[in-house]
Structure 1
Amino acid sequence: METQNPTSYPPDPHLHASHAEENKPSFWKKLGGGSLSISLIVHAILLAIGVVWIFQIIPAQEAKVDFMPKGGGGGSPGVKEVSNKKQRATMTNPNTPRMAAKGVAGTFTLPEPDAASAMSSVGSLSSGGLSGGLGGSGSGGGRGDGHGTGFGSGMGPGLGGGGGAMSPFGMVDPNANALVGTFYNLNHRANGADLEMNNDKHWDAVHDFVTRGWKDAELSKFQQAPKKLYQTKIYMPAMAAGEAPKAFGVTPDPHPRWIVVYRGMVTAAKSGKFRFVGAGDDSMVVRFNNRNVFDYGYVPGTIPLAGFQAALKSSERLKGPQRDCPMEPPVTFYQYPSTADWNRGIGGVAVGPEISVQAGQSYPIDILITEGWGGLFSAGLMIQETGAAYQKASSGSPILPLFRTDDSLPTDVKGDNLVPYEPQGPVWRINQTGRKDI
């Protein structure tokens, strides 16, 4: 007989079914809902902490007002600061007075002088006729985000360095109707070494050159500027003597001493008799058809000096005949309201002897201008036809045409020692093939 285990009971079918339903996993748990919920809650907490931390360490930027235009044509970070510095410098520089010749026309304008300078005005030269270049001004033209190309206008080395533009001393680029200008620095030897120079030696060099055939060899021992300038007229207001070397690309000396020689072959526009009229500070000498026909200024070039005398006036030296001097006494002088310095210092502008020309015929011409004192320089050359009628200035002197080799006329020229001119007059065209020594 089998013994029954008192602790063993038959299974209860109802109790088994209830436990099975309780142990069955839900759909959310099958998808991992428990872990996902915990992960989302943790990430939300971390995100909130991160947002609070970011706003605590990054301060709000202050609003800025920018008065500079966008782009500016340069795009360089330093352009704005440089512009601001220049603007501040301009605002703090005092305005210096200018002297102007009334009723005078020309194609270049003159920059404001240094307050410490003795100049009344000197050219900032623009293009056309007699125009600028002692260094011109430029302006940016780019637009956008600072990567614009920009553009500028202005003259190149000091006096007019832009292509084709003119300074009072001539154009940078060759011109079919221009005299060729060569600059000599009397303070330096041909190799650039310093040369001991004084007033007597300066004027001896000028005298030897203009009385010995105008040969380049006479000036070969002096430093010659590598650059040539091309001149169509001599119409130069009072300016610092250092502007001439600047125009030819030479560094000015503290006491500038120089000679500029313009050469060419000109063709007469009409037949007749003419006289050169003008003056140079310190001097201007003209040779036409291989003979000296004009010499006038504070110190005449064709008259030897037996010792330099600063107070000596050329007008006093021309009362009697002088060897090698082309000026025929008694010399006629013209004065104008716009040539106050020359009127006071040398009697005005002088009238040279007659020359005869035939229309269509070409003649060699050489013009020398020079500065030895090293202060201010000026020069002007007119042409007067014998027997022609001209309008008169208020002083009673005739208003003469410029001696010029092209059709351009100076406008807006300002400064002392500018002779009023008649815009209608003969143009002495250049014959480029007729001169072999330039």
Structure 2
Amino acid sequence: MKKRKSRRSGKGIIKGAPSGFLISLLVHAGAFILAGLLVVFTATQKLDKKFIAPKPVMRPKMKLRKPKVKLKKSAKPKAPTRIVTKVESASMPDIQLPEMNGMGFGGASTGIGGFDVLPALEDISILGSKISTGNDLVGVYYDTKRNRSGQNIRASVEEYRYIAHRFMRSGWRPSILSRYYKSPQKLYAKAIVIPETMATVAPSSFADEDGVGAFWLIHYKGDLVHRDGIKFRFYGAANEFMIVRVNEKIVLGCCWNDARRSEVIGNLWESSSLDTDTWHWGRGSVQIGDWITLEPGVPLSMEILLGDNGWSTGFVLGVEVEGEEYERSRQGAPILPAFKTDELSLDYLDAVYREQPEGEVCLTNGPVFRDY
């Protein structure tokens, strides 16, 4: 007897399962497998690295301003505190320097003291030095042939001498000479000893390249002082004229001859000594001045006016101390020490000794007019 087939039995791939379901399952399984392979392949594939520069960043620019600092005007630095100690100096043995002989005129000989710092040779002339040592007469140069701008103006000997006379009569006021050319270069003199030389020495010494050696004036000014006190008088000779004023009073007036003296000095001063005009220094007759008394360390104002109208020139200013005895020259004149405000340099001495005749003044002895 044959068995009877069941109604649920079908012709599917898998027994007991519908064909559509199985197909769907296979499709999904294949998709998952394919997706898995794609993921694995993508993950394992190496990608090339590329560098991409970032975009530039725009930074805002700021304007810088200088800081302002306010300072108090009243703020002053404190003065440093000084510590003063007393140190006993060790005693030194006395050292005697050898005497320097043969440096004076007429056989006079003395030593030259001091070890001052001296100016260079090119800065020295017989009219003074371009560098001050602190105890000098300050000299100012004027050319009366030119105006203050340096242009030539009308000039004559008579007018030139009148200018000098008017300057002294006005009280030695520099404003009287303000209309004439004034050299910017000043000279500092320790002594007034200018041996006979060409009158061009004045403009060349004061660096006046356009000047001619005629109708010039030099006005020296300073202090007259002595450490210990002294009574003395000036002796002088000049070509063309030299006038000395102390404490606003003329104490010496020298001119080449009487005619010049009357035009330049006039009645402003006259010597009271009977020996005046007795001797000659250079080309000028020796004039003897008034007696002057200096108290110890007390300065008096001093001024000297030099002038020349051309060709040759020369000036000598000496000192006679009251009570001193001096050697005499062949013409009978006393060989006096030169007036000086400090010890004179060897360069200056050499320049003077080359031209100065013997028997006039000595530059290395006598008083030194300073307060130390």
Paired positions, count: 258
Rounded Cα–Cα distance in structure 1 between residues aligned with 2:342 and 2:193: 13
* Structure 2 match to 1:239: 197
**How far off its partner does 1:355 sit?**
1.5
Give yes or no for contact 2:202–2:213 (8 Å, CA) kept in 1: no
1:167 paired to 2:152? no
Q: Which has the higher strand share?
A: 2
Distance 1:300 1:291 in 2: 21
Q: Output the CA distance in 1 between the equivalents of 2:107 and 2:151.
A: 42
Counterpart pick for 1:356 among 284, 289, 293: 293
How far apart are 1:252 and its partner, in Å? Answer: 5.0
The 2-side partners of 1:331 and 1:105 are apart by 23
What is residue 208 of structure 1 aligned with on the other side? 166
- On the 8 A contact 1:207/1:301 being kept in 2, the answer is no
Q: Equivalent residue of 2:349, what SS? A: coil
Partner residue, 2:153: 195
Once the two structures are superposed, the pairs formed by residues 95-244 of structure 1 within 5 Å of their partners are 103=106, 162=122, 165-244=123-202
The answer to whether 1:324 aligns with 2:265 is: no
Taking only the aligned residue pairs, the percentage that are identical comes to 25
Which residue is 2:45 aligned to? none
Match for 2:364: what amino acid?
P
Structure 1 302/281 Cα, relative in aligned 2: closer, same or farther at 3 Å?
closer
CA distance in 1, matches of 2:131, 2:230: 33
Alignment root-mean-square deviation, CA: 3.2
What is the aligned partner in structure 2 of residue 403 from structure 1? Answer: 339
Whether the aligned pair in 2 keeps the contact of 1:242 and 1:252 (CA below 8 Å) is no
Distance 2:160 2:117 in 1: 31
* AA of the residue aligned to 1:335: W
TM-fit CA distance, 1:334:
5.3
* Structure 2 unpaired stretches of 5+: 1-103, 110-115
1:121-147 per-position Cα deviation (integer Å, ceiling 9, x unaligned): xxxxxxx9999xxxxxxxxxxxxxxxx
1:178 Cα deviation (Å)?
A: 0.9
1:427 aligns with 2:368: yes
CA contact (8 A) 2:106 2:335 kept: no
- 1:273 positional shift: 2.3
Q: Give, as a single letter, the amino acid of the residue that structure 2 aligns with 1:199.
A: V
Deviation at 1:416, TM superposition (A): 5.2
Cα distance, 1:355–1:207 mapped onto 2, change above 3 Å: same
2:246 is matched with 288
Runs (5+) with no aligned partner, structure 1? 1-100, 107-127, 132-153, 156-161, 309-313, 315-321, 432-438
TM-score by length of 1: 0.53
Give the CA deviation at 1:243.
1.3
Matched to 1:411, the amino acid is L
Whole-Å separation in 1 of the counterparts to 2:356 and 2:335: 17
Taking a change above 3 Å as real, the CA distance of residues 252 and 327 of structure 1, as seen in their structure-2 partners, is farther
How far the C-alpha of 1:253 sits from its partner, in A, is 4.2
Structure 2: how far apart are the matches of 1:169 and 1:130?
Answer: 16
Classify 1:250/1:349 alpha carbon distance in 2 versus 1 (closer, same or farther; 3 Å): same
CA–CA separation in structure 2 for the residues paired with 1:330 and 1:356:
21
CA deviation map 1:295-340 (0-9, x unaligned)? 01215799553xx9xxxxx9xxxxxxx621142264524536xx4x
2:241–2:307 contact (8 Å) kept in structure 1:
yes
> Is the CA contact 2:135–2:190 (under 8 Å) kept in the aligned structure 1?
yes
The equivalent of 2:355 in structure 1 is 415
Change (3 A) 1:387 1:104: closer
1:341-389 CA-to-partner distances (Å, cap 9, x unmatched) read 42xxx4x3221121122121101000111111x1101101011112211
2:144–2:181 contact (8 Å) kept in structure 1: yes
Question: Which residue type is aligned with residue 339 of structure 2?
Answer: F
Distance 2:177 2:316 in 1: 24
Please tell me whether the aligned partners of residues 184 and 260 of structure 1 are also in contact (alpha carbons under 8 angstroms): yes
Residue 171 of structure 1 aligns to which amino acid in structure 2?
S
Query: Which residue, out of 328, 350, 370, partners 1:392?
Result: 328
> Distance in 2 between the 1:299 and 1:130 partners?
37
Larger Rg belongs to: 2
